[in-house]
Amino acid sequence: MLELFRNPKNLGKIKDADASATAGSLACGDMITIYLKVDEKTEKIIEASFESYGCAANIAASSILTELIKEKYLQEAWKISWKQVSDELGGLPSIKLHCGILAVGALRRAIRAYYKNRERPEWLPEELTPEERQALEEEELMNILGKKMRAVSTKPSEKEV
Amino acid sequence: MIGNLSSNLRALIEAHGRPEREVYLDLENSGLIFEEALNELLKSYRESGYGHPSITHKPGWSSLELLLEAKENLLSFIKARDGEVVFTHSGTEANNLAIMGLAKATPNRRKIIISSIEHLSVKFPAERLQELGFRVMEIPVDDEGFVNLDYLSDQIDEEALMVSVAAINHEIGTVQDLRAIADVVRDKDPETIIHTDACDALGRTPLDFGKLEIDIASFSGHKIHAPKGVGALYVRDGIKLEPIIHGQLSSQSLWPGVENIPSIAGFSKAIEIFRENFDNYREKMKNLRDILIGGILSQIDDAFLNGPRGDRRAVDNVNVSFLGCEGEALTVELSLRGVYVSSGSACTSRTLEPSHVLLAIKRPYEIAHGSILMKTSPLHGEKDIEYALGQLVKAVERVRSIAPKGVV
């Protein structure tokens, strides 16, 4: 994992990417963007890359995920779970599991983005998968917390248990 | 499970390797001991402090002598005119004893007042008491971490059991005006007990408990380069506390168990060293602090200092945020470069929330996530700080280069 942090694979933006998507936000301290270059005919991923604002585990998870999906059909890439990402890294500790989930969330969003102006294949569910929902929940939570922060006046506060 | 974890850690440390030069700046979280304090600990284990200080034999009396000397040393360093020192196993334990021990001794007063930037070893015991029916009020601070005295005053009444405000904030180095805080409290209600977590103040700022109206204060050994596993609570005469742990006989009524005499002896030695070099050390730490802060702010874009400046800031504290540079990734990148620091990022707190101290001074989340904390010490030289600064510039650049563009 440390090696992947030191020398991440597939780091950086793909300028002419066919699809890209971000999960997380600056405010939650974890943000991953995934870029995909896809062969139009075969729907195979030719190139995948990432950028990450996050901890070392986050960077390693994004790096390994982009390795895993290279040369895969979008349908296969869609099926990759956060558990596989964690296993590939030798098992993420429980407090870092959300890094794997966020990376998978970003990938699935990128795949959805690819099909935004194309016909949705049957294997792509309309409903959000748990990984996508988790990304959404983290973003929403930070939104709420951010609003709460701004609303905090300088009054003393009785703590809520 | 533990076996797996430990072999993973071994692999991690091997992969990390040993950097050419190492500078340890994570003094907030422990590390670095005075050689003399370590020697005192060893001498105590080998010769004079291995016995139980409550037992009537020579090794016991030797240990008791060391214990009493250490108490005298601390009382004289903080210029206390009266009062007792209770040695604990940590600063955390001292804070717990102060808060829980007071609540047990005076159950008819049900309100606990703390500042919104207290250390978690103050905040969490207070929250535990809240679950038990006490009320906890958090006093807001300004954007440099200074307690709002008007709001404090409003909260003091006959219900108030205690006020707890750290003399120096552990994270952003705010040096509170303890005298003003005590005046405000005494003015409204002389019975309200005043506690200060002085773990970060000892050796960094002059403490004069002979003049300060402070009833209870917590101290920690490792924060003054003493051995780990030792803390102390100063309790003024007449203040009633109940022990919070119970057990074997001890020479201290508020703390049961076998006193850690060797660590206490090392703590005592470290106190002596800090007392003898007080002005020099303060000047040295401040000089190194200013080199580091000045270098960071002038050489790195979008860097922000958290906490006050100048004499209102602890002489050793450097807490900076780098926009678009996630703090935990930065600690790992710096580690690979031999510079050891900690971060207020969420990833280091096991929750999604970044440091409550940075949020209390109204730092936006994206700034709180990009914060790192360093402390200078008498054990550092200018070369160490220059090395750390150089590596920091490169490390921030690298971590920022990984982030999606447009973040900074």
pLDDT band at A154 (very low <50, low <70, confident <90, very high): very low
pTM here is 0.91
A56 at B interface, C-beta within 8 A: yes
Q: Which of B325, B334, B365, B394 to mutate to test the interface with A (most CBs of A within 10 A)?
A: B365
For A63, which residue in chain B has the nearest alpha carbon? Answer: B402
A142 at B interface, C-beta within 8 A: yes
CB contact under 8 A, A154 and B151: yes
d(CA A9, CA B403): 14
Q: Which of A94, A139, A158, A159 to mutate to test the interface with B (most CBs of B within 10 A)?
A: A159
Q: What is the pLDDT of residue B362?
A: 93
Q: What is the pLDDT of residue B202?
A: 98
CB contact under 8 A, B352 and A91: no
A86 at B interface, C-beta within 8 A: no
CB contact under 8 A, A55 and B364: no
Nearest alpha carbon to residue B195 among B99, B314, B119: B99
Domain annotation covers residue A44: yes
Rounded to a whole number of angstroms, the CA Rg of chain A reads: 17
For A23, which residue in chain B has the nearest alpha carbon? Answer: B404
Instruction: Tell me the one-letter amino acid at B38.
Output: L
Q: What is the pLDDT of residue B384?
A: 98
| Domain range for A96 | 2-151
**Mean pLDDT of the residues in chain A:** 86
- In this predicted structure, the answer to whether residue A61 has a pLDDT above a threshold of 50 is yes
d(CA B276, CA B218): 21
A51 at B interface, C-beta within 8 A: yes
Q: In this predicted model, what pLDDT tens digit does every residue of B15-31 receive, in sequence order?
A: 899 999 999 999 999 88
3-state secondary structure chain B: CHHHHHHHHHHHHHHHCCCCCCEECCHHHCCCCCHHHHHHHHHHHHHHCCCCCCCCCHHHHHHHHHHHHHHHHHHHHCCCCCCEEEEECCHHHHHHHHHHHHHHHCCCCCEEEEECCCCHHHHHHHHHHHHCCCEEEEECECCCCCECHHHHHHHCCCCEEEEECCCECCCCCEECCHHHHHHHHHHHCCCCEEEEECCCCCCCCCCCCCCCCCCEEEEECHHHCCCCCCEEEEECCCCCCCCCCCCCCCCCCCCCCCCCHHHHHHHHHHHHHHHHCHHHHHHHHHHHHHHHHHHHHHHCCCEEECCCCHHHECCCEEEEEECCCCHHHHHHHHHHCCEECEECCHHHCCCCCCCHHHHHCCCCHHHHCCEEEEECCCCCCHHHHHHHHHHHHHHHHHHHHHCCCCCC
ipTM for the predicted complex: 0.83
**What total of structural domains would you count in chain A?**
1
Nearest alpha carbon to residue B87 among B263, B271, B273, B206: B263
- What is the torsion angle, in degrees rounded to the nearest 10, for the CA atoms of residue A40, residue A44, residue A50 and residue A54? 120
Q: Which of B10, B153, B369, B399 to mutate to test the interface with A (most CBs of A within 10 A)?
A: B369
Q: What is the pLDDT of residue B352?
A: 60
Contacts of A46 by beta carbon, 8 Å cutoff, 6+ apart: A37, A38, A39, A71
Domain annotation covers residue A122: yes
DSSP3 helix / strand / coil % (chain A, rounded to 5): 45, 20, 35
d(CA B352, CA B129): 24
* A155 chain-B contacts, CB cut-off 8 A: 140, 151
- In this predicted structure, the answer to whether residue A110 has a pLDDT above a threshold of 50 is yes
Helical segments of A7-115, H only: 56-69, 74-79, 82-88, 97-114
CB-CB contact of A92 with A82 (8 Å): no
CB contact under 8 A, B404 and A33: yes
B138: distance to nearest CA of chain A, Å? 6
Helix, strand, or coil (residue A105)? helix
The one catalytic residue among A99, A103, A106, A110: A99
Q: In this predicted model, what pLDDT tens digit does every residue of A7-29 receive, in sequence order?
A: 999 999 999 999 999 998 877 77
CB pairs under 8 A between A and B: 125
Mean pLDDT by 10 residues, chain B (408 residues): 72 90 95 96 97 94 97 97 95 98 95 97 96 96 98 97 98 97 97 98 97 96 97 97 89 91 98 98 98 98 97 98 92 96 71 83 89 96 98 97 75
Which fold would CATH assign to domain B35-276? Aspartate Aminotransferase; domain 2 (3.40.640)
CB contact under 8 A, B369 and A29: yes
CB contact under 8 A, A26 and B329: no
Q: What is the pLDDT of residue B365?
A: 85
The secondary element (H helix, E strand) that includes residue A132 is helix A130-151
CB contact under 8 A, A2 and B332: yes
Architecture of domain B278-399: Alpha-Beta Complex (3.90)
CATH number at residue A46: 3.90.1010.10
For B344, which residue in chain A has the nearest alpha carbon? Answer: A29
Of A29, A51, A157, the CB nearest to B345: A29
Q: What is the DSSP letter of A116?
A: T
Task: Identify whether A28 is a catalytic site residue.
Answer: yes
- In this predicted structure, the answer to whether residue A153 has a pLDDT above a threshold of 60 is no
Domain annotation covers residue A158: no
Nearest alpha carbon to residue B135 among B114, B104, B105: B114
- A40-69 burial, b at 16+ Cβ within 10 Å, e below that, comes to eeebbbebbbbbbbbbbbbbbbbbbbbebb
Estimate the crossing angle of helix B261-276 against helix B278-299, to 10 degrees.
80
The mean per-residue pLDDT over the stretch A51-76 comes to 93
The one catalytic residue among A28, A57, A65, A97: A28
Domain ranges of chain B: 35-276, 278-399
Token code pair at residue B44 = 């105590």
- In this predicted structure, the answer to whether residue A160 has a pLDDT above a threshold of 60 is no
Tell me the sheet residues that pair with A25: A30
* B130 chain-A contacts, CB cut-off 8 A: 159, 161
Of B12, B324, B403, the CB nearest to A2: B12
Half-sphere exposure of residue B260: CA atoms within 13 angstroms, side-chain side:
19
* Token pair 């958290």: residue: B306
